[in-house]
Amino acid sequence: MGQGRDRRDRARSPGPGASRTPSPASSRASYRGPGRFRHAGAYEVEREWRRYEGTPQRELLRGVRERFLERALRTASEEVRWAAEVGPGPGRFTPLVGQGAERLLLVDLSTPMLRAAAERVEAGSGPSSEGGVDLVQADASRSPLKERSLDRVVALGNLVGFAGPRARSVLEGLARAVAPGGALVLETQAAVTFVPRFLDEAGPPELRRTFVSDPRHELPRLLREGWRPVPPPKPAGREGSGDIRGIGGIGSLGGLGGTGPTFRFMARSEVSHLLSREGLNVVDELVAAPLLGGSPELLDTLLRSGGPGLRALLRWEETVGREREFLEAGGHLLTCAVRD
């Protein structure tokens, strides 16, 4: 029991060498702004953890994110002294983020979320658990991260979008924290304007045959099928055309315009422009599951009726998600950018 207490203490406070390695979190880390997870308790922590599991749709979306993150980590500096995850929630991706890093910095509004994420790291065997974890309760819209101090910065989920009118400043703060040779792995969302037409017109048997085939052979035909527009959302709030009340799933904007937090959609071109202005070059980008990520019923039907497994679908989604037409059509955009 004493050993377990020592590990938890190490995760909550700097290790013996911390005085020689200043934290890349500045004194502004004490700022606590508004946020949906600030007052999260055990129920919210567990609910957020289950958000990426339990259904084929959630498993698919989680798999896409994990595989993209694993590839992106190989683009950062060979020596990762400091890695940071902003908005880790209960730590779904945190062990991956800290892989190979000497120290790991976690920034979140919620103390229970931070503790849960640290426990996920402690339970693993990665180098991050041995080097120690620093927990910082802060609002990402008032970035606590020092400029050019981190070899790896990761922000997955809807962190940027839920910042609403402060979304641009959140993204800029994340980008500025990346050290020379370091990498930023970022998730944003652009409003979905078009979806593939063939998903509606083809029946399950034809779709099963499509998804078991090689996407490189079938993709040209599917791109020729064209697109169907998504009905426009209800009028936006005062913040501008990029801000929508509420948020829908991938491939659907239904239900927007109701109650809920202000959400800031960011087009792919806007994200690239902001990163470039901060001195980062985009080296990889992918729309997460643009085909079946927003079609849970169709996905479930395919998998239950002898369709391809999730691994085959991942291959399809990753191929299609990098096509220019799909990148421009909107959805959850995963971006990896590096500072030369």
Looking at the DSSP assignment, which residues form a beta bridge with residue 183? Answer: 152, 338
pLDDT in tens, 63-77: 999 999 999 988 766
Domain boundaries, the chain: 2-194+227-338
Q: Mean pLDDT in the chain? A: 80
Q: What is the pTM of this model?
A: 0.82
pLDDT in tens, 136-153: 999 888 889 999 999 999
Q: What is the DSSP string of 128-193?
A: HHHH-EEEEE--GGG--BPTT-EEEEEE-SSHHHHTGGGHHHHHHHHHHTEEEEEEEEEEEEE---
Q: What is the DSSP letter of 39?
A: T
Three-state DSSP class for residue 63: helix
**What superfamily does domain 2-194+227-338 belong to in CATH?**
Vaccinia Virus protein VP39 (3.40.50.150)
Report the alpha-carbon distance of residue 163 to residue 182 in Å, rounded: 24
Q: Give the pLDDT confidence score for residue 51 in this predicted structure.
A: 84
| Count of C-beta atoms within a 10 Å radius of residue 129 | 20
Is pLDDT above 70 for 32? no
The pairing of beta strand 227-229 with beta strand 194-196: antiparallel
Q: What is the DSSP letter of 249?
A: -
What's the pLDDT band for 234 if we cut at 50, 70, 90? low
Interval 190-216 mean pLDDT:
85
92 vs 24 pLDDT, higher one: 92
Cα angle 226, 293, 112; round to 5: 150
Residues near 266 by beta carbon (within 8 Å), at least 6 away in sequence? 160, 161, 167, 171, 188, 189, 190, 242
Report the alpha-carbon distance of residue 119 to residue 114 in Å, rounded: 9
Is pLDDT above 50 for 184? yes
